[in-house]
Structure 1
Amino acid sequence: MKIKILEFLKNKKGASGIGTLIVFIAMVLVAAVAASVLINTSGFLQQKASTTGKQSTEQVASGLQVLEVMGMHNTTNINKTAIYISPNAGSAPIDLSQAVVMVSDGSTKLVAKYNSSSPDHVSLTDGGSIFNNNIWSNISETEFGIIVIQDADGSCKSTTPVINKGDIVAIALNTTGLNMGPRSDISGTVQPEFGAPGVISFTTPATYLNNSKVVQLQ
C-alpha cells in the first residue's frame, strides 16, 4: 500500500512538470513573436527617419541665390531683365524647368515659367553678349528663357535645364508689361521646385541715359 502511494505522488510531480514546461514554451514563443515585431518596427522607423532626415536636409540646404540683376531700357522702361542665379552651397541639383519666376512692381505681378516643349535656351559658356542675341525676340511675358553662362558638366540643356554646383545661368525675362520706369520699387523671387528661393529686390535708377542702355539693378 505504501509503495502505491509513493508511485502516485511521483506521477503527480511528473504531470506538474509537463504543465510548467508547456507554459514556459508558450512564454518563449510569445517573447519571440514580440521581439520579431519590435525588430521589424524599429527597422521601419529607422528607415523612415533616415529618409525624412535626408529630405529635410535637402530642403534646408538646397535653393537658389541671385548673384545680380541686369536690365536693358528703352529710355522709359526696362523691357529686358536678366537675373543671374546659381545654386546655394551644398544644394542638390535644381531643375529650372520646374522653377517659377515672380516679379511685381506693386500693382502688376509677372509670373513666368520655362517652356520645355518650346525652349528659349542659349549658351554663352564661350563668351558673348547677354542682351544682343536672338533669345529675347522669342520670350513672352509668361515664359522665361535661360542663358547659360557657366556649366562645366553640360547639365543645363534646353530640354532638361538642370543646374548644380558651380553653374551660373541668367534668367531672361520680358518685363515690358511691368512699370519699371525710373525710381520704381521692384520685388520678386525665383522659386525652385524645392529649397530656398532666390530673392529679387531693387529700385530702378533715377534716370535712364541714352548712352548707357544696360544698367545694374541688384
Structure 2
Amino acid sequence: MFEAITDEEQRGQVGIGTLIVFIAMVLVAAIAAGVLINTAGFLQTQAEATGEESTAQVSDRLQIVSQSGTFNQTDSQMANLSFVVAQSPGSDNIDLSETSIELIGADGQESFQIGDEGNATIDIFTNDDLSVVLTDNSERAEINLILHDPVDGSDELDYLLEEGDRLSVTFTAPSGASTTAEIRVPSTVVDESVRL
C-alpha cells in the first residue's frame, strides 16, 4: 500500500528551514496586502473629497434674477448698482458676506468681499431671521453696490460708470463657483432709475 522512496532526489524538503521560508512569504504577502488596502482607503477618501469640492464649485453659485441701478444726473454717472440674486438649482447654502465681487470695465478692475466693505449692502427680503445666508431656492437677496455717493463718499467704491459704458460683474461664492453679469449703461439716460 505504501511505497518506500529510496531515491534522495524524490523526497520533499521538510524541516525548520522550509517552515521559516513559508512564514516569511506569508508575512510579506500580508504586509503587501495591508499597504494596498491602506492606499485604496486613502485614495477613496481623497476621491470623495475631490468629488464634493468639484460638485460645490459647479452647483453652489448665485443666479442673478434682475439688475438695475441709479443714475446721478448731476455727475452724469451711475451712483449704485442693485442685483437681485438667488441660489442656483441644486445649490447648498451660500453665505453672501463671504461672496466676493469683481468689477471689470473702462475704469479698471475692482475686487472685494461683500462682508469686508461698507460700499456693499445685503438685504434678504424673503428671510425672517435677518441672516445673510441663502438657504433655500425660493429666497431672494438684493445686493446693492455704491459706486459713487455725491453726498458722503466714505462708503463708495469710487468706480466711474458713465453713459454708454460696459461693466462685467462677477460674483464668486465661497465654494469658488462664479456667476458673471454684463452691465450696459444706455448711451442716453433720461431717468434716475435705470434697468440694466
Interval of TM-score (by shorter of Structure 1 and Structure 2): 0.7 to 0.9
Cα–Cα, structure 1 residues 115 and 64, in superposed 2: closer, same or farther, change >3 Å?
closer
In the TM superposition, residue 194 of structure 1 has moved relative to its aligned partner by: 2.2
**Amino acid corresponding to residue 161 of structure 2 in structure 1:** M
Structure-2-length-normalised TM-score: 0.76
Gaps of 5+ in 1: 1-8, 117-138
In the TM superposition, residue 146 of structure 1 has moved relative to its aligned partner by: 0.3
Contact 1:103 1:189 in 2 (8 A): yes
**Amino acid corresponding to residue 17 of structure 1 in structure 2:** V
Secondary structure (helix, strand or coil) at the match of 2:14 reads helix
Secondary structure (helix, strand or coil) at the match of 2:97 reads helix
Contact 1:104 1:187 in 2 (8 A): yes
In the TM superposition, residue 85 of structure 1 has moved relative to its aligned partner by: 1.4
Contact 2:107 2:161 in 1 (8 A): no
Match of 1:207 in 2: 188
Correspondence for 2:161 among 180, 194, 217: 180
**d(CA) in 1 for partners of 2:67, 2:51:** 34
Cα–Cα, structure 1 residues 32 and 110, in superposed 2: closer, same or farther, change >3 Å?
closer
Match of 1:77 in 2: 77
Moved over 6 A (4+): none
How many residue pairs were aligned? 176
**d(CA) in 2 for partners of 1:41, 1:181:** 59
Contact 1:182 1:205 in 2 (8 A): yes
Match of 2:33 in 1: 35
In the TM superposition, residue 171 of structure 1 has moved relative to its aligned partner by: 0.8
Match of 1:58 in 2: 56
Secondary structure (helix, strand or coil) at the match of 1:83 reads strand
Cα–Cα, structure 1 residues 105 and 35, in superposed 2: closer, same or farther, change >3 Å?
closer
Relative contact order (alpha carbons < 8 A, sep ≥ 6): 1 or 2 greater? 1
Match of 1:100 in 2: 100
Correspondence for 1:198 among 157, 167, 179: 179
Q: Deviations over 1:56-115 (max 9, x none)?
A: 121122212222211122222221211111222112222222222222441244434334
Structure-1-length-normalised TM-score: 0.69
**d(CA) in 1 for partners of 2:48, 2:33:** 22
Task: Provide the alpha-carbon RMSD of the alignment.
Answer: 2.7
Match of 1:163 in 2: 134
In the TM superposition, residue 48 of structure 1 has moved relative to its aligned partner by: 1.4
Contact 2:103 2:168 in 1 (8 A): yes
Contact 1:105 1:178 in 2 (8 A): no
**Amino acid corresponding to residue 183 of structure 2 in structure 1:** F
Contact 1:104 1:178 in 2 (8 A): no
Gaps of 5+ in 2: 1-6, 149-157
